C-alpha cells in the first residue's frame, strides 16, 4: 500500500504543536510499519526541502513542487479544485493522510484528515484578522466533509467536528496523541538542569507556563492570578512566574499585563524554547500552570506530567481528557480559583508529590507507538 502524507507543516523553521505532532507520529508510523510505502508531499516556492526530517528507510520517499503557495492554495486547490495532489506530483496513492487542515484537492485515494481543534470556528475573537481571513478562505467544514475518514485528537474535538460541520459521528475516529520519550523526571544531579537554568537565567523557584503567547491561552488571566497569589500569600514571594513560548497573535495585551503588574520584576518571558530544553525546564518548575480557554488536546500539560511536574490546568474542552485525575482542574474564568490552586500546590508538599506521581503514571498511557498502531488500523480498514 502506498501512503501519501502531506508534510507541508514540517517546512517551518520552528515546529509548532502541530509540527511536533506530525513529526513524532510520522516517525512512529515509519518505525512501526515495514510493509507499506510512504510518499511525503511538500510544496514551497523556495527550496525548503532541507528543513524536512530525513528518513533513510527504504520505504520512504519525497515528492515536492516549487510552486508559490498563493498560486497552489488559492488559485488551484481552492478555486479550481485542480489538479488533484496525485496529478500534481504524478504519483499514485492508495491512502492519503493530511495531518492538519490545509488547502487541498483530494487525490483518487482513501483520504484521511486529522483535525486538532476548531477553535477558529468556536472563538473567532481569539484570532487576528489575518488568521480569520485565512480560515475563511480554507473553508474547513467543506474540506472536512470531503475526507473519507476524520481523525480527531480528542473526544471534545470530535464533538466540535460533528456539531460545527455536520458530518456523521461514525465518520470521526478519536485517537489520542502521544508524548515523546524525551520527557521524563530527571535526577537532581542531571547536568541538563544546570545548563538550562543558566541558559535562560531562571529563578530558583518558579511557576511555569509553556506554549504560544496568544489570547486563547488566557495568559492575562494567569498574570492576574499570579498577582492575587502574591498579594494573598506573601510567604510565596520566592516563587516567580516564567512564561515560555513564541509570540502568536494579539500578544501585546499579555506583555502589557505583565508590565503593569505590581510584581512585574518577578515575571519573566523566555521566548521560544528549543525542544531539547523543554524537559529540563519542566523539571525545574515547582508547578506547571495551563489556564487555557480551549484546547484540541493540550500537549504542554502532558509533557509536564511526563516530566514529573505538578499541573494546574483548566477543566474546559479536551484538557480533562488528558489530565484525568492527575492534575488540579480549575475554572479559567475564575482568577481567584487559579491563584488558590497554585497556592495549594506550592504550600502543600504532600499534594505536590501526589500530583507529580499521578502525572507520571497518567503520562504513560500516551505513547506515539500506541497512536501509530491506531492510525495503521484506521488506514488498513
pTM (2 d.p.)? 0.92
Ordered by where they begin, the domains of the chain are: 2-178+367-380 (3.40.50.2000), 191-363 (3.40.50.2000)
Q: So what's the pLDDT on residue 129? A: 81
Give tens-digit pLDDT for 260-300.
999 999 999 999 999 999 999 999 999 999 999 999 998 99
**Using one digit for the tens of pLDDT, what is the confidence trace for 218-265?**
999 999 999 999 999 999 999 999 999 999 888 999 999 999 999 999
- Per-residue model confidence (pLDDT) at position 234: 98
Comparing 126 with 259, the larger pLDDT belongs to: 259
Who contacts 166 (Cβ-Cβ below 8 Å, separation ≥6)?
141, 145
Q: Do 115 and 161 form a contact (C-beta atoms < 8 A)?
A: yes
Residue 160 C-alpha cell reads as 466540535
> What's the rounded Cα separation, in Å, for the pair 298 and 312?
13
Distances (CA, A) of 350 to 281, 339, 353: 22, 18, 5
Three-state secondary-structure class, residue 202: coil
> Over the stretch 160-203, which tens digit does the pLDDT of each residue have?
999 999 999 999 999 999 999 999 999 999 999 999 999 999 99
For residue 286, the SS3 value is coil
3-state helix, strand, coil in the chain (%, to 5): 50, 15, 35
Confidence (pLDDT) at 365: 97
Q: Residue 55 pLDDT more than 80? A: yes
66-83 as b/e: b if 16+ CB within 10 A? eeeeeebbeebbbeeeee
Amino acid at each position: 500500500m502506498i501512503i501519501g502524507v502531506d508534510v507541508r507543516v514540517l517546512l517551518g523553521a520552528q515546529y509548532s504543536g502541530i509540527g511536533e505532532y506530525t513529526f513524532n507520529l510520522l516517525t512512529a508510523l515509519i518505525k512501526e510499519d515495514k510493509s507499506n510505502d510512504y510518499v511525503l508531499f511538500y510544496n514551497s516556492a523556495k527550496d525548503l526541502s532541507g528543513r524536512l526530517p530525513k528518513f533513510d528507510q527504504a520505504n520512504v520517499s519525497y515528492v515536492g513542487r516549487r510552486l508559490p503557495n498563493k498560486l497552489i492554495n488559492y488559485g488551484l486547490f481552492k478555486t479550481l479544485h485542480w489538479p488533484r495532489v496525485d496529478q500534481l506530483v504524478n504519483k499514485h496513492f492508495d491512502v492519503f493522510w493530511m495531518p492538519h487542515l490545509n488547502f487541498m484537492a483530494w487525490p483518487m485515494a482513501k483520504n484521511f484528515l486529522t483535525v486538532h481543534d476548531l477553535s477558529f470556528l468556536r472563538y473567532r475573537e481569539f484570532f487576528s484578522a489575518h488568521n480569520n481571513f485565512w480560515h475563511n478562505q480554507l473553508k474547513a467544514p467543506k474540506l472536512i466533509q470531503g475526507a473519507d475518514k476524520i481523525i480527531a485528537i480528542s473526544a471534545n474535538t470530535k464533538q466540535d467536528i460533528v456539531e460545527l460541520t455536520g458530518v456523521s459521528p461514525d465518520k470521526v475516529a478519536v485517537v489520542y496523541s502521544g508524548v515523546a520519550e524525551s520527557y521524563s523526571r530527571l535526577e537532581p544531579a542531571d547536568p541538563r538542569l544546570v545548563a538550562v537554568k543558566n541558559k535562560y537565567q531562571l529563578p530558583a523557584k518558579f511557576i511555569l507556563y509553556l506554549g504560544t503567547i496568544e489570547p486563547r491561552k488566557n495568559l492575562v488571566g494567569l498574570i492576574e492570578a499570579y498577582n492575587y497569589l502574591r498579594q494573598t500569600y506573601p510567604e510565596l514571594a520566592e516563587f516567580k512566574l516564567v512564561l515560555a513560548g513564541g509570540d502568536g497573535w494579539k500578544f501585546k495585551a499579555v506583555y502589557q499585563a505583565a508590565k503593569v503588574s505590581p510584581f512585574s520584576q518577578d515575571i519573566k518571558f523566555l521566548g521560544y524554547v528549543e525542544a531539547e530544553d523543554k524537559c529540563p525546564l519542566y523539571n525545574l518548575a515547582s508547578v506547571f500552570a495551563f489556564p487555557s480557554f480551549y484546547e484540541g488536546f493540550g500537549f504542554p500539560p502532558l509533557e509536564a506530567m511526563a516530566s514529573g511536574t505538578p499541573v494546574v490546568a483548566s477543566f474546559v474542552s479536551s484538557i480533562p481528557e488528558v489530565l484525568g485525575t492527575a492534575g488540579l482542574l480549575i475554572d479559567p474564568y475564575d482568577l481567584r480559583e487559579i491563584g488558590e490552586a497554585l497556592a495549594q500546590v506550592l504550600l502543600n508538599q504532600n499534594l505536590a508529590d501526589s500530583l507529580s506521581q499521578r502525572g507520571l503514571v497518567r503520562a504513560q498511557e500516551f505513547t506515539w507507538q500506541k497512536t501509530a498502531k491506531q492510525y495503521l488500523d484506521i488506514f488498513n480498514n
